[in-house]
Structure 1
């Protein structure tokens, strides 16, 4: 790799200094490095516009945490450029290294192509209102149905491949990818899936039924969720949020886009999970 695009989350401590150090190191090695320092989203809700990234870019490096990496994955999904993250936050399941580790060694691996790439599935979520597409977006972790306004239980009806599954009364519903299984899904008691798997995990949040459990569906399944009340919204990876109305429908399926994550070390998913969980 010789062409790098570095996205800096300026809300993180030492992010600006770290980003400029990376740019200097890469350019000293003869590489091209574009540094993007962004703090607030654009009107589109994106932090990075696809049009801002030159076509010759071979790698996106994010400085922040998992949220910064996920945002970049969503913003730049159409480009399918491999991503790698440097963790300046707390846990960091997706980011490869932290600021305290040897960033220059990581950069040397990228410069010499000493890495491999994992492909992670994403989800498409389309809001249908009055039988027309009202909004559409993608997510790497999860699509979440949750409440707005005063605390109250939510009501929705779920179909899988047009077959009625169940009617739920709960505080929310998580539709997660394997990558997102260690995020909100895990906190809500859902199962953990290996990140390279291709499946859809559906987990109710605080369901008002004793028999409500997570359901794991194959990647080709399509979900349709009918909204049966007001004061509800849908979020994509905890970032993009859209208000819902009673009668809206959300169609969720595997996206044709996927995220390409660069992996440098030989640490297995289970070892990484054990290390991260022991630090909570």
Structure 2
């Protein structure tokens, strides 16, 4: 399978790339059928976002040369052809975030893990939440909230005490960040086809930013989030290190 190499600009990744270039044949991205990404989870997200900007989205096989490597396979130089032939593919559907700022600018960004809204000052955010254009929470007072995919449910969402969603569950999680009112609301699990709207109340007094994975839009007035099935991504995993197994086992880590 013709493959291209994507390399994080870190010393371990650059050293590993030099070894791989000596051991295997590589082609330019335009001629490739898959991409081998060297780095950590952050670099994997960058690589997947780069795929979303292409007309032809390629599957990505990551090898961990970072810290956690949740989205990555183990780094090994041996038997790469055999590993690629035996991989299990996992399809991941990104979120599409449409954010409108206080000044009326509209920004559309994809998110693979989550879309998060965060207060910009010491004052709490006040948010109105709609589901499929119906107001379901007139006022959430919190540090913010996030919408996470199954692939992202073990990232920021889990740190915010959100639920872990099995890969392939066709669900999204709506998770408050440090909620103050209503005290008993701890979030919701929603079908992935749901259209989620968030309106920032008192937006000038209580400014809020919206972040799609790593890209931020400041001082938003409203945000709409929904799944974008027109740009599905494919991640490749060794059979013994499949993403669905990793997500399942995260529920048993103390």
TM-score of Structure 1 vs Structure 2, range by shorter chain: 0.7 to 0.9
Matched, 1:85 2:62: yes
Q: Distance in 1 between matches of 2:103 and 2:119?
A: 23
| Cα contact 1:202–1:216 (8 A) shared by 2 | yes
CA contact (8 A) 1:23 1:33 kept: no
After TM superposition, list the pairs within 5 Å mapping 1:252-271 onto structure 2: 252-255=225-228, 256-267=230-241, 269=243, 271=245
Output the TM-score relative to the length of structure 1: 0.80
Q: State the TM-score, normalized to the length of structure 2.
A: 0.88
* Secondary structure of 1:137 counterpart: strand
Query: Larger RCO: Structure 1 or Structure 2 (Cα < 8 Å, ≥ 6 residues apart)?
Result: 2
String of CA shifts for 1:133-179, please: whole Å, max 9, x gaps.
6100101100010122x322111111010000112111111100000
Matches for 1:128-277 after TM superposition, within 5 Å: 128-129=100-101, 134-148=106-120, 150-166=121-137, 167-209=139-181, 210-228=183-201, 229=203, 230-237=206-213, 239-245=214-220, 248-255=221-228, 256-267=230-241, 269=243, 271-273=245-247
Cα distance change on mapping 1:13 and 1:107 into 2, 3 Å = farther
C-alpha distance 25-242 of structure 1, shift in aligned 2 (>3 A): same
After superposing on structure 2, the runs of 4+ consecutive aligned residues of structure 1 that deviate more than 4 Å are: 129-133, 267-271, 273-280
Deviations 1:204-250 (A, max 9, x none): 0010032121201101110111112243111111x1111024xx211
CA contact (8 A) 1:106 1:264 kept: no
Q: How many residue pairs were aligned?
A: 246
**Any gaps of 5 or more consecutive residues in structure 1?**
35-52
Structure 1 residue 25: Cα displacement: 1.6
Structure 2 gaps, min length 5: none
1:15 match: secondary structure: helix
Determine helix, strand or coil for the equivalent of 1:171: strand
Q: Is the 8 A contact 2:73 2:241 kept in 1?
A: no
CA distance in 2, matches of 1:145, 1:219: 19
- Rounded to whole Å, the distance in 2 between the matches of 1:94 and 1:61 is 13
For 1:213 and 1:266, locate their aligned partners in 2 and report how far apart those are by CA, in whole Å.
Answer: 34
Q: Distance in 2 between matches of 1:266 and 1:25?
A: 24
Partner of 2:78 in structure 1? 104
Q: CA RMSD in A?
A: 2.3
Write the deviation string for residues 236-266 of structure 1: whole angstroms up to 9, x where unpaired.
Answer: 11x1111024xx2111100121220012223
CA 129–242 in structure 1, closer or farther in 2 if over 3 Å, else same = closer
The answer to whether the 8 Å contact 1:13/1:88 transfers is no
